[in-house]
Amino acid sequence: MGYKVNRPEFTLAENAYFVEMAKGIGVATKHLVENLASRKHTVTREYPEQQPEYAARYRGQHRLMLRDDGRARCVACMLCSTACPAKCITIQAGDYGDDQVEKYPIKFEIDLLVCVYCGMCEEACPCDAIRMDSGVHAAPELHRAASRVGKVDLLRLGELSIAQQGGTFR
Amino acid sequence: MSLIKVKIDGTEVEVPPGTTILKAAEQAGVEIPTFCYHDALTRPANCRMCLVNTNKAPKLLPACYSTVMDGMEVTTTDPKTEKTRKSTLEFILLHHPVDCPICDQAGECTLQNHYFDHSASKSRSFTRKNHKPKAVEIGPRVTFDAERCIVCTRCVRFCDEVSKSGELQVVQRGERSEISTFPGRSLDNAYSLNTVDLCPVGALTSTDFRFKMRVWFLNSANSVCSGCARGCNIIVDHGENRVQRYRPRYNADVNQFWMCDAGRETYQEFQQQRLDSGRVSGFEVPTKDALSAAAAAIDAFVKERSVDALAFVLSPLSTNEDTWGVLALAEALGVTRFYVGGRAAGQADELLVLADKNPNRKGLETLLAARGLTAEPLSALTTGIASGAVGGVVWVGHEHPRNAPLEAALQKLALRVVLTSNASVWSTGASVIVATRTFEESDGTWTNAAGKTQRLFRALEPLREIPPTWDAAARIGRALSAALPLWLSARSVFDELVRAAPTLATTWDGPSGRKQGRPDVPNPGFRAQAFPRRG
Ligand code: SF4
Ligand code: SF4
Ligand code: SF4
Ligand code: SF4
Ligand code: FES
């Protein structure tokens, strides 16, 4: 079994090589001249001056959302780190000592080099505390340690969430 | 007494009269959900979770309280029972905060489990939830969250019936019901943390364990509490290769369902000043160097003085296997002087706590007797050193109370080899320290005051290549060309010591024959090194 592939026979001109070569150079030169004269047909992007537009659902670098008073919404329930298939979220829980929020992350660290950007953490979070809608993609770093982003950096990208903590009737 | 026949979900069982439906169902292999029922407490039948349909009453009966009747047919999965369960759960959850994300009980919560097994329906409530005090320090070791309480009164009954301290009561009525201590009192009895285990929800949580770790990250191994000579059966819950908490494990002969609060805190003792490598003249060295240095030091001492001037200090906290290994080394050297240290005696109480705070004194004594040896209390060592009879010691353990004259006397010794898991005043200034495993890192057995030998399953990975004490002793012995048996695991030491002291026999692999901890190998070496777990 197999396909019969029709291979066209080369004409004499094609076999002569030089004619075809000249044609090819002609095409390349035409594009070169065109692109030098105008940018209309270029497909490459002038990165990083020109940033790509990401779709709204693009999963970029994580961010931690904020409460009204600027504290993290995250209550260190560890559901994200439980759901994470790459096991790249490290959270250490602390106690505010109040009776409203009680629990918060002393440390919240994501190793972006280990992360597979699956979005499981976002989905697992019961508090709308972690999101990947920052529109920022993880930047390349010179050192591994710099890719372990901590709570401060994650909160810097954060903003208020419209979700009401604890539901509507509190 | 004739047995009566009952049918539970089609399975016929014969039970003595007076048996509850719940127990009969257990016998039939049918599980009935409960909240307020507990085997060791009285039955108020207040949660109504266990209601089941029978052919003997028009209404559903609480299975935990109602006794079976001859010819009774019980159904636990018919629509009526299931609908009732659902309604009961809806009722319980009406004012429940469902703050599982910050609730330490999440993952081991009876309410969560029952909800997913028997309801899993959306809330239909449109009223505001009641608010009650949260994060209340109800006792020195227990944190109370009134919103999460389902008023099953298990905690109240425990304090009334088991600890007999009666601090707790239910105040208010109906949806405002709350657990509270009597005015001016606090939940501070010596067994208060058992209420945390009893509480089916996250209303009572341990202040020590609070927010430390989610329970689903914990691994468990069956073990025995080191707190006193009772030898309460426990579960060592560990995560990130550290012990996170102890929980009592049911044993009808020893501790029933309970353990004391002091016992639960003993894990901290083994985390303080943990030695992760040997020391020779104060410098950190790998275990094999520490072992050969120990052997060389003992050899030099025996050649220079005599073996009569060498004493062994034993610990009643060592496992039987560790003690057996050390005794084998001592006997191979020809040592005759033994001293027994251990934690100082404390207070006993009526429930579990014994005055002897050492978990294995009985085992130690039995093993000494089996080898025909005698030992003196540690305090006698001071005079031994002062009189010049003792010139060097091989010292096991760190758990000996401070004793200034002895500490001063030790400085005069020509040889101090210490085998210990944790640094202490007894290891400072020692010529050689061999780091050994804690009991949580070892397989072994302890014999409690009643003479019952109980198995400890290994919970933690030992740090680096740290050996168990019996292995360290055997390796020192072999370095001294003493004829010590080549033990391959704690099991082989145990088999040997049981031949010499048959009263110490016990099932090695646990009652179910199943391993309940990590595999029993003495030197996992590099392979099983504990790497820090990420995330
Ligand atoms: S995106 Fe996936 S891999 Fe990355 S942190 Fe979230 S759960 Fe983990
Ligand atoms: S980010 Fe969300 S899921 Fe992760 S710990 Fe915080 S609250 Fe829990
Ligand atoms: S008691 Fe159970 S259901 Fe209630 S908040 Fe805690 S974990 Fe959730
Ligand atoms: S605190 Fe816990 S054990 Fe006590 S009544 Fe409430 S739910 Fe039951
Ligand atoms: S378990 Fe039977 S009523 Fe609570």
Q: Tell me which architecture the domain covering A63-157 has in CATH.
A: 2-Layer Sandwich (3.30)
The secondary structure of residue B307, as a DSSP letter, is G
Tokens 């009722």 correspond to B91
Compare A137 and B103 and report the one with higher pLDDT. B103
Domain boundaries, chain A: 63-157
pLDDT digits (tens, 9 = 90+) for B368-419: 999 999 999 998 999 999 998 999 999 999 988 888 999 999 988 999 999 9
* Mean of pLDDT values over B201-206: 97
Closest CA to B490 of B429, B421, B441, B426: B441
Banded model confidence at residue B531, pLDDT cuts 50, 70, 90 = very low
CB contact under 8 A, B135 and A75: no
pLDDT digits (tens, 9 = 90+) for B133-179: 999 999 999 999 999 999 999 999 999 999 999 999 999 999 899 99
CB contact under 8 A, B211 and A95: yes
CA dist., res. A62 & res. A170, Å (int): 28
* Mean of pLDDT values over B329-338: 93
- With a pLDDT cut of 70, the percent of chain B lying above it is 95
The three-class DSSP label of residue B296 is: helix
Instruction: Tell me how far CA of residue A74 lies from CA of A58, A104, B146, in angstroms.
Output: 22, 6, 23
pLDDT at B517: 65
How far is the centre of ligand 2, averaged over its atoms, from the C-alpha of A79 (Å)? 6
pLDDT digits (tens, 9 = 90+) for B64-86: 999 999 999 999 999 999 999 99
Q: Which residues of B touch A76 (CB under 8 A)?
A: 102, 211
The complex scores an ipTM of 0.83
CB contact under 8 A, A169 and B129: yes
Which of B126, B211, B535 is the closest to A81 by Cβ? Answer: B535
Two structure tokens written together for B295: 């052997």
Dihedral in degrees, nearest 10, Cα atoms B295, B297, B301, B304: 110
Q: Which residues of A touch B134 (CB under 8 A)?
A: 99-100, 102
Q: pTM score, two decimals?
A: 0.88
Q: Give yes or no for residue B416 CB within 6 A of ligand 3.
A: no
CB B312 within 8 A of CB B476: no
pLDDT at B401: 87
* Mean of pLDDT values over A10-25: 91
Does B99 touch chain A if contact means CB atoms closer than 8 Å?
yes
Tokens 């000996």 correspond to B400
Taking 70 as the threshold, does the pLDDT of residue B535 lie above it? Answer: no
Residues 6+ apart with CB under 8 A from B47: B34, B35, B36, B37, B88, B92, B150, B152
Q: Give yes or no for residue B103 CB within 6 A of ligand 3.
A: yes
Q: Which residues of A touch B107 (CB under 8 A)?
A: none
Q: Is the dihedral of CA B327, B330, B336, B342 positive or negative?
A: negative
Question: What is the Cα B70 distance to its own chain's centre?
Answer: 43
Compare A99 and B53 and report the one with higher pLDDT. B53
CA dist., res. B412 & res. B403, Å (int): 15
Q: Which residues from A are below 8 Å from B when comparing CB atoms? A: 75-79, 81-82, 84, 86-90, 93-95, 97-103, 111, 114, 126-127, 166, 169-170
Mutate to test the interface with A, among B211, B213, B218, B244 (most CBs of A within 10 A): B211
pLDDT digits (tens, 9 = 90+) for A75-109: 999 999 999 999 999 999 999 998 888 999 999 99
Question: What is the Cα B43 distance to its own chain's centre?
Answer: 28
Which of B133, B210, B211 is the closest to A99 by Cβ? Answer: B133
Which of B126, B212, B535 is the closest to A87 by Cβ? Answer: B535
pLDDT digits (tens, 9 = 90+) for B106-119: 999 999 999 999 99
pLDDT at B384: 92
* Mean of pLDDT values over B175-188: 94
In this structure, chain A runs to a length of 170
Two structure tokens written together for B8: 């539970």
Q: Please, which residues bridge with residue B144 across strands?
A: B136, B204
